[in-house]
Amino acid sequence: MRRGDAGFVTAETAVALPALVLLAVMLIWGVLAAGAQIRCVDAASVGARAAARGEADAAAIARSAAPSGADVQIVVAADTVRVRVDAPSSPPGRLGSLLSVRLGAAAVAAREDTLAGGGGGGGPWPP
């Protein structure tokens, strides 16, 4: 190594290290956000199945499967139920207020109490 190059390694490390730490934090946040999105999808489908069966606490069931701070909305139509789950996801630290995103998922299920048994006898579904 030449005498004039002695401080370059320290300067390069001082510049590159914060960038690598930021990259690692963003990658971890991306994995956590993907996990929260999967939990939103699961919560919406669980809530839709519970509401389709006519359970009174379908919203609570969906909230228990959703990420913390999630908002659950259930819309009951004549023959279907629609469940929408929205949840906030923000990176750790001070970046949370700048880079916050909203995750969400929806699921639709046929109401089981309105299904007819086919030929008019009210038998099991499917006919």
pLDDT, greater one: 1 or 120: 1
Domain count, the chain: 1
Looking at residue 22, what is its pLDDT? 84
Among candidate residues 7, 2, 83, the one with its CA nearest the CA of residue 48: 83
**Domain enclosing residue 47, as ranges:** 7-114
CATH number at residue 68: 3.30.1300
Q: What is the CA radius of gyration of the chain?
A: 25
4-18, 31-45, 71-85, 111-125, range with the lowest pLDDT: 111-125
Residue 2 lies in a domain: no
Is the Cβ–Cβ distance between 91 and 84 less than 8 Å? Answer: no
In tens, the pLDDT along 75-114 reads 999 899 999 999 998 776 676 667 788 999 999 999 987 7
Residue 126 lies in a domain: no
In tens, the pLDDT along 110-127 reads 998 776 554 444 434 344
Query: What is the reported pTM?
Result: 0.74
Side chain identity at 61, as an amino acid letter? I
Is the Cβ–Cβ distance between 66 and 87 less than 8 Å? Answer: yes
